[in-house]
Amino acid sequence: MTLNDFMKNNFPDLELQSPLFYSWDASIRFELGVNESPGSIHENPLYLQGVYRRAIDLFETLHAPEDELYLVVDVHDFGKGHALRRKLNVFAKYVGKNSALRRLRHENRPYIYPEDDEDGTYRTHRFSLKCCRSDFRYAALLRAICNQDMGIRPSIHFPVYFVNETKGTIYYVYDDRGCDLLGVNPEAIRRVYNEFNTWILDYDRTEIDEVFK
């Protein structure tokens, strides 16, 4: 099965684009960043450690070692010619197996935010790799995603989605503030809803609780 086939069969009419939470009923938004200091991140080094721990704990709970995953990276090309070169860093740096890299797929798509592309010249390069969690350094990758607005390296500044074909879920860390979790239905993510209930973003809690009644 390809990523596109999986999405059509399980998440019909859903576009992989931020914000995912508001685009699908069976979804949860978790808060990753807590106890943030008003000053520099360097004045509160425990903040990012807490962010990393939450992001990795959620990932490991969601994705069993034997699950079949799609690692999906969207690189937006605004006509500057850097998109294809930049994507190589993610897969070359975080995917350790050449046998896995040979499964990498590329799709050249219209820009996924057409309302911001009046001339229709932008493109979105979507790279997807079917793998399992042992094929890539997921902890390091998640830390780099969380670093994107922190002014520290390594950091990743384009969307990365973890699509679980086995469980029927999509996990998306948008930055150090939080992440979105989608399930094909509420039962697919009920365990995570129960186990990490205190991490749910309070702003959206009422809406989320309604889904899992």
- The pLDDT tens digits of the residues spanning 129-175 come to 999 999 999 999 999 999 998 888 899 988 999 999 999 999 999 99
Residue 115 pLDDT grade (very low, low, confident, very high; cuts 50, 70, 90): confident
Find where tokens 């990393």 sit.
52
Contact status, residue 211 vs residue 190, Cβ threshold 8 Å: no
Q: Could you tell me the two tokens for 140? A: 């390091």
- The pTM of the full predicted model, rounded to 2 decimals, is 0.91
Q: Could you tell me the two tokens for 169? A: 């879920």
pLDDT over 80 (residue 179): yes
Angle (nearest 5°) at CA 177 between 15 and 209 = 70
